[in-house]
Amino acid sequence: MNTNRLIDLLSTNLEPVSHDRLRRTLILGMVTGGTAAFAVMLATVGPRAGLLSTTHLEWSGIKLLFSLSVVGMGSPLLIRLMQPGLEKETHWALVWLPFMVAMVAALLAFLFCGHQEWREMLLGASTVSPARCLLLIVFFSAIPLAALFWAIREGAPTRLKLCGTIAGVVAGGLGATAYVLTCRSDTMPFIAIWYGTAMAFCGFLGAQIGPRLLRW
Amino acid sequence: MEELAYDQERELRALITAGLDGDAEAYHRLLERLTEHLRAYYRRHLARIGHGPAEAEDLLQEVLIAVHTHRHTYDASQPFTPWMHAIARYKFLDYLRRTKSSLKDMPMESAEELTAHSDMGAVESGLDLQRLMSRISSKARIAIQYVKLQGLSVSEAATRCGMSESAVKVAVHRGLRALSLRISEERRP
What would the pLDDT profile of B123-137 be if each residue is shown by its tens digit?
Answer: 667 677 888 888 888
Cβ pair B73:A4 closer than 8 A = no
Chain B partners within 8 Å of A88 (Cβ): 82
Cβ pair A1:B128 closer than 8 A = yes
CA–CA distance, B66 with A213 (Å, rounded to integer): 17
E-only strand ranges, chain B? none
The predicted pLDDT at position B138 comes to 86
Instruction: Please state the rounded mean pLDDT for residues A69-95.
Output: 90
B61 closest CB neighbour out of A6, A8, A84 = A6
What would the pLDDT profile of A192-204 be if each residue is shown by its tens digit?
Answer: 999 999 999 999 9
Cβ pair B127:A8 closer than 8 A = no
What would the pLDDT profile of B9-20 be if each residue is shown by its tens digit?
Answer: 999 999 999 999
Cβ pair B111:A85 closer than 8 A = yes
Distances B186 to A146, B95, B99, B126, B128 between C-alpha atoms, Å: 28, 11, 10, 10, 10
Tell me: pLDDT of B32 over 80. Answer: yes
Distances A153 to A51, A81, A160, B143, B177 between C-alpha atoms, Å: 38, 11, 11, 22, 11
Tell me: pLDDT of B181 over 90. Answer: no
What would the pLDDT profile of B46-78 be if each residue is shown by its tens digit?
Answer: 888 888 888 888 899 999 999 999 999 999 899
B20 closest CB neighbour out of A16, A22, A156 = A16
Chain A partners within 8 Å of B148 (Cβ): 9-10, 12-13
Cβ pair B83:A85 closer than 8 A = yes
The amino acid occupying position B58 is D
Q: Which residue of A has its CA nearest to B132?
A: A1
Question: Environment class of residue B147 by beta-carbon count within 10 Å: exposed (0-12), middle (13-18) or buried (19+)?
Answer: buried
Half-sphere exposure (Cβ direction) of A40: Cα atoms closer than 13 Å? 21
Chain B partners within 8 Å of A84 (Cβ): 70, 73, 82-84, 86-87, 90
Chain B partners within 8 Å of A3 (Cβ): 35, 39, 57, 60-61, 64, 122, 125
Residue B26 to chain A, least CA–CA distance (Å): 9
